[in-house]
Amino acid sequence: MSIAREHDLHKRRKSRNVGLGLTLAAFIMIVFGMTMVKVSRGDFDMRPDANSTLVDIETGKPVEATPRVSQQSEAADGN
């Protein structure tokens, strides 16, 4: 005799787990979609802004940032 019958509690728990899984998947897709839109628009830059202050981790004192090189000047240099 096999145990093939599911109890009502297991059915409710399974439906709750499926709902939670679908909600989590939807959240992940929304975050992924927003990330892809931000990166593909072309204004995404991993370098710090000109207004941001760099801080040395060991001393905690501000460090002077190196100037940015624009893409146009890189193209003129041949890089």
The pLDDT assigned to 29 comes to 98
Does some domain include residue 2? no
Look at residue 73 and tell me whether its pLDDT is greater than 80. Answer: no
Would you say residue 69 lies in a domain?
A: yes
The residue to which tokens 């890189």 are assigned = 74
* Three-state DSSP class for residue 63: strand
pTM (two decimals):
0.49
Total of domains in the chain: 1
In-domain check, residue 53: yes
Give the tens place of pLDDT for each residue, 9-68. Answer: 888 899 999 999 999 999 999 999 998 998 888 776 666 666 667 777 788 787 776 666
pLDDT at 34: 92
**H or E stretch including 76?**
helix 71-77
Residue 1 lies in a domain: no
Strands 54-55 and 62-63: antiparallel
Domain assignment of residue 30, given as a range: 8-77
